[in-house]
Structure 1
């Protein structure tokens, strides 16, 4: 590679146009201190929009599919690249003891009473990193051409926000008119050593579907069970049979998970209730297997209801759904080259696929755009290395744990660099001669 090409490579541009990250470290602390739960991200979206509007030439569109927003940086002819971050936090009490820990309460997403909230999944780091990358790409705009869409999505935790933005006319030329992306890119901070970043081709995150199943019985006195139809027994019997979907119906070489996370019925020990409700979550790395698991759940649930002479059939309601996150092999191979060059020993190739879930693919589906996603570490290097010496690193608090606390640096630098590097990998890089 010639010297001029090296000096205009994505890595060179990232390293030379990276802004001062101190203001973005402060922004991260502010976002962490004031979390908004899913569907109630108005204040967070306002903060993000204000930062985007501080950059000239970025068109900001707000209130898409709820509190979603985008910033569009048009910079001549070339590919359209979408970079995505999430806005929402989780309804849980923070236990990190950080000086900038969240202490405020947030509106319950089900419109119930207020409750503690926390950025326990790292979306605050994603937002700060994407906003810093917007500044970087804006500063380097003479060196590339194309369009970058900085998208900030609401309600990711329920797997609904991306689809809501699409259905609200994200790409509709008569409404929000956001250009269709040629590629959709994103990343996630994880319990890995800070300073490292990793990706993989093919299946990256599993599908995930959550269902609410309600069995209907005929209530009665606990002393006279023969005069009632007990939905508790229906539910308990179904729970045991649901486990056979994985153990007896699924090829052992394929991955499927069926979890019953909640069972609720009645309020008194001597009353047979009218209803019993199960909350079920399923996961797989195959869309067809996911559909098969869903069909098996339906078969078992209806069979149990009939076997117990239920007065009416059970109901099955989908609560959440996350599609399979599949990293386009060709695009990801290209991105790997950029990451290996830029991050060096910090780049980890071919991490295992995760049973966690993401809905970023819904942003790419309308135009069948390829997706490429990565994970990066947020655990203090000394803490990580010490944990490795002592035993399994599973003891380190992970995402959705009340003690999850990514170290700000070098995590924010990696987050910023990754977004900008990925964008520049797929944008049109101008030759040094054409920049004059």
Structure 2
């Protein structure tokens, strides 16, 4: 029998009251100082495993190479999975924080260090109050959500036997830190995040001396035409009712001022919310690249490859309504809102066993002084003007440490037997 939202809120407050948030803050700052890129999260995984073992969970390391799974069996009842991701980004930190990254060119610019901290805190709180719930808790520290190695950490963990080696969930929960005034929890039933495709393009030319372009086929000019033409895919080939974002995030060609190179490479990023829109845009990208290369007289056809993909994230509407109700009872009606589907993407749904309901939400984290200084009158206007995920200036306020623990604990308690 499910607890009422008020019962969940009361139990959450009771269970989390004894947590040492100062120690949790130390854990967070340590992770932030020592970020690790996708599939290199060895120190991060070890630190998480250490805390989970200390809390009494059975811990397995090396799941999907650097993933961590902790299991706490606490009598009969549902199995609940809580997931957090671990990897950092190749970004040079510019926050000015006293605990800023000590690894040059690498930063927790997406807040996964906070996700690990929330996960550890929730596990510790639930483990310390086993008389308040019954069931099995599974805590998952997932590597490589950012896909920096061209792999999905969720898919790698599943391929390594995640669904066979550990108790299968009756429900799975995840959350993400986000920009926005501290104190909000964003819930969206149904579609909440877009699908992602990273596309690698290579245009082949004929290299030569910069003083004799007539003896070459310049792939730099060809790449420039490709970039320009790609802008029409969304603006002129996609209906206004359909959501799509196509970004050229990387372009590389040449080694010296006076050398026309023999090839140019581009890195594209596509976000879509509909499978048919995705199919049409991928086809349009291939058509445009091949057409521009043919028009330029390239000596051989270009290479167009989808290097990495993530599916849409679609929350179970019933489960989301139950968890959102628990969060409203915990934080107040005004604190929980539906921001609607976003164009960000996650590999979270790849972790989910077939037919298992899941829910994914966001916890806002912009420091109050930063939010107040941001220009704009509406939430959306200010949201667009504060440091966001993947920004070198992204620095969540430490006051969200308890909030993210409470949201996870409440979600778990909403499913566990009382």
By the TM > 0.5 criterion, same fold?
yes
- Contact 2:327–2:336 (CA<8 Å) still a contact in 1? no
Task: State whether residues 195 and 346 of structure 1, in contact with CA within 8 Å, keep that contact through their aligned partners in structure 2.
Answer: no
Match of 2:398 among 403, 408, 415: 408
Does the CA contact (< 8 Å) of 2:32 and 2:101 recur in 1? yes
Is residue 2:358 matched to residue 1:371?
A: yes
Partners of 1:55 and 1:135 within 8 A in 2: yes
Say whether the 8 Å CA contact 2:182–2:397 is kept in structure 1. yes
Q: How does 1:296-375 map to 2 (within 5 A)?
A: 296-364=284-352, 366-375=353-362
* Structure 2 contact 6–330 (Cα < 8 Å) conserved: no
Q: 1:320 & 1:170 partners in 2: Cα distance?
A: 21
The question of whether the paired residues in 1 share the 8 Å contact of 2:35 and 2:88 is answered with: yes
Q: What is the CA–CA distance in structure 2 between the aligned matches of 1:191 and 1:224, rounded to whole Å?
A: 51
CA distance in structure 2 between the aligned counterparts of 1:381 and 1:237, rounded to whole angstroms: 44
1:237 equivalent in structure 2: 225
Q: Which runs of 5+ in 2 are unaligned?
A: none
In structure 1, the partner of 2:154 is: 162
Query: How far 1:278 sits from its partner (Å)?
Result: 1.1
Q: Could you tell me how far 1:382 is from its partner in structure 2?
A: 4.6
Deviates more, 1:369-378 or 1:393-402: 393-402
Aligned to 2:163: 171
Distance in 1 between the 2:34 and 2:220 partners? 41
Deviations 1:42-82 (A, max 9, x none): 011111000000022x1111101121111011222322211
> What secondary structure does 2:306 align onto?
strand
Partner Cα separation in structure 2 for residue 142 and residue 121 of structure 1: 35
Task: Tell me what 2:21 maps to.
Answer: 21
Report the 3-state secondary structure (helix = DSSP H, G, I; strand = E; otherwise coil) of the residue aligned with 1:243.
helix
1:53–1:60 Cα contact (<8 Å) kept: yes
Q: Match for residue 139 of structure 1?
A: 128
Which residue pairs with 1:34 in the alignment?
A: 34
**Greater CA deviation, 201-210 or 380-389?**
380-389
Confirm whether residue 248 of structure 1 aligns to residue 246 of structure 2: no
Distance 1:93 1:265, change over 3 A: closer
Aligned counterparts, 1:203-282, within 5 A: 203-282=191-270
Question: Matched residue of 2:55: which SS?
Answer: coil
Whole-Å Cα distance in 2 between the matches of residues 270 and 230 of structure 1?
Answer: 12
Q: Please state how far the C-alpha of 1:341 moved relative to its aligned partner.
A: 1.1
Structure 1: tracts of 5 or more residues without a match: 106-114, 431-436
For 2:159 and 2:251, how far apart are their aligned partners in 1?
Answer: 33
Classify the secondary structure of the residue corresponding to 1:171: helix
* CA distance in 1: counterparts of 2:397 and 2:167, whole angstroms: 35
1:247–1:383 distance in 2 versus 1, CA, 3 Å? closer
Count of paired positions: 408
| C-alpha contact (below 8 Å) 1:8/1:143 kept by paired residues | no
TM-score (norm 1): 0.88
SS in structure 2 at match of 1:98: coil
Contact 2:37 2:87 in 1 (8 A): yes
Superposition deviation, residue 232 in structure 1: 2.2
4+ runs of 1 displaced by more than 6 Å?
5-8, 388-391
In the TM superposition, what is the alpha-carbon distance from 1:294 to its structure 2 partner? 1.0
- After superposition, the CA RMSD in angstroms is 2.1
Please state how far the C-alpha of 1:6 moved relative to its aligned partner. Answer: 6.7
Contact 2:109 2:392 survives alignment (8 Å): yes
Is 1:29–1:100's contact at 8 Å kept on the other side of the alignment?
Answer: yes
**Residues in 2 aligned to 1:42 and 1:280: alpha-carbon distance in whole angstroms:** 29
Q: Deviations over 1:305-362 (max 9, x none)?
A: 2333322211123333222111121111111111111111452221132212111011
SS at match of 1:413: helix
Question: C-alpha displacement at 1:234, in angstroms?
Answer: 2.3
Sort the Cα spacing of 1:246 and 1:387 in 2 relative to 1 into closer, same or farther, 3 A: closer
Contact 1:6 1:12 in 2 (8 A): no
Compared CA separation, residues 78 and 288, structure 1 to 2 (3 A) = farther
Q: What is the correspondence of 1:82-231 to structure 2 with a 5 Å cutoff?
A: 82-103=81-102, 105=103, 115-158=104-147, 160-172=152-164, 177-231=165-219
Q: Work out the CA distance in 2 between the residues paired with 1:182 and 1:302.
A: 47
Q: Do the aligned partners of 2:6 and 2:329 also contact (CA within 8 Å) in 1? A: no
